[in-house]
Amino acid sequence: MNLAEILAVGEAMERALALLEGGDVVAIPTETVYGLAGDATNGVAVARIFEAKGRPRFNPLIAHVADLAMAGRIADFDPLSAKLAETFWPGPLTLVLQQRAENGIHPLVTAGLDTIALRMPRGFGGELIARLGRPLAAPSANSSGKISATTAEAVAADLGDRIRLVVDGGATPVGLESTIVKVEDGRLTLLRPGGIAAEDIEAVSGQKLMRGAAGIEAPGMLASHYAPGASMRLNAGKIASGEALLAFGRDRAEGWQDAVAVRNLSEAGDLREAATNLFAYMQALDRSGAATIAVEPIPFDGLGEAINDRLVRAAAPRDKIA
């Protein structure tokens, strides 16, 4: 049974506010992917997020803020984090910072950690948070282990029987989740590549990002994530008949004419465009019924790092799902 109402951003504000005030969850568009949002200060609302997603465990969530003042009440900003926030917010950068005492954030948001992931989204989400006057906890609006939704229709198809409202802002412009960076003692660690290229953060901060797992950290702890139903074969130079093809750029892999379905992430070889199309095209090829989606090589520079990260997770053996 589908409960969810879908309302366009222009007509959804009052309904979204009423649901959030009542401790319910709402799916909202952000510039990266759709988020499943609940009041970050309300434990019942946060629990409903986990329930709706069917998360296998309580991963810490990103708290979304409306402005720097709200962010500053929640976490400690040293000069480096302030500079990153001023440069990239609102936008697809999440900063993991030390929490301030008595900040009102429910501990379920942070899974009891003393750090918190913060981000200021563009568009409807930012306005909604400002109107609510409280931060919103929001993971991507998909059931656990599934591809992140970049359209309201994809959210409704996945979570529509578990939530009441999907706010429709059209296809999300970035198409990939935010880049997550931990700031600690003036040092930056990349926890998850995403919608802002690591190079851009390095240019502003004047330092190389450290990489690699550090403790609990980002969703990549689950090797298999973003998984479509079909299996994925990466860096395909040749297409076997019966496979679907996720292409990139102008040159086609050998045998591409035999693919049961083809989507090109970016004909022009533009990684930004490819990021925007990634999840929707994986879903479309999955619906073709092919047992395997072959993926042409994608370069690693700029947003290519995040795209390859998601593809590797989508291709990981499914028994790695925790």
CB 285 within 8 A of CB 246: yes
Among 41, 42, 59, 277, binds ligand TXA (CB under 6 A): 59
**Residues between 302 and 321 with contacts to ligand TXA, criterion CB under 6 A:** none
Binding status of residue 30 toward Mg ion by CB under 5 A: no
Q: Is 172 in the site for ligand TXA (CB under 6 A)?
A: no
Q: What would the x/- binding string for ligand TXA be over residues 88 to 127, using CB under 6 A? A: ----x-x-x-------------x--x-xxx-x--------
Which of 19, 61, 155, 245 forms a contact with ligand TXA (CB under 6 A)? 61
In 211-249, which positions are buried (b, 16+ CB within 10 angstroms) versus exposed (e)?
eeeeeebbbbebebbbbbebbbebebeebeeebbbbbbb
Partner from ligand TXA, Mg ion, none binding residue 48, C-beta < 5-8 Å depending on class = none
CB of 142 to Mg ion, least distance (A): 6
Query: How far, in Å, are 20, 36, 42, 135 from residue 67 at the CA level?
Result: 19, 20, 20, 10
Contact between 314 and 227 (Cβ < 8 Å): yes
Instruction: Note whether 33 binds ligand TXA by CB under 6 A.
Output: yes
Q: Name the token pair of 281.
A: 């095209």
One-letter-per-residue 3-state SS of 116-149: EEEECCCCHHHHHHHHHCCCEECCECCCCCCCCC
**Residue 275 vs 315, nearer CB to ligand TXA:** 275
Output 108 or 259, the one with its CB closest to ligand TXA: 108
178 makes contact with Mg ion (CB under 5 A) = no
Closest approach of ligand TXA to the CB of residue 225, in Å: 9
Which residue is at the shortest CB distance from Mg ion? 140
Site residues for Mg ion, window 111-150 (CB under 5 A)? Answer: 140
With CB under 6 A as the contact rule, the residue among 85, 138, 280, 282 that binds ligand TXA is 138
- Using CA atoms, how far apart are residues 52 and 47, in angstroms rounded to an integer? 9
**Nearest-angstrom CA–CA distance, 322 and 168:** 31
Complex with ligand TXA: residue 145 or 160, whichever CB lies closer: 145
Under 8 Å CB-to-CB from 162, ≥6 apart: which residues? 3, 51, 52
Cβ-contact 73, 103 below 8 angstroms: yes
Taking residue 255's Cβ as centre, other Cβ atoms within 10 Å add up to 16
User: Which of the choices ligand TXA, Mg ion, none does residue 115 contact, using the CB cut-off of 5 to 8 A by kind?
Assistant: ligand TXA
* CA–CA distances in Å: residue 234 to residues 3, 265, 266, 292: 37, 14, 17, 10
Which one of 3-11, 54-62, 281-289, 307-315 is the stretch in contact with ligand TXA (CB under 6 A)? 54-62
Of 139, 160, 169, 304, the one binding ligand TXA (CB under 6 A) is 139
CB of 114 to ligand TXA, least distance (A): 8
CB distance 54 to 144 below 8 Å: yes
**Contact positions toward Mg ion, by CB under 5 A?**
140
**Contact positions toward ligand TXA, by CB under 6 A?**
30, 32-33, 35, 59-62, 92, 94, 96, 110, 113, 115-117, 119, 138-140, 177-178, 180, 191, 216-219
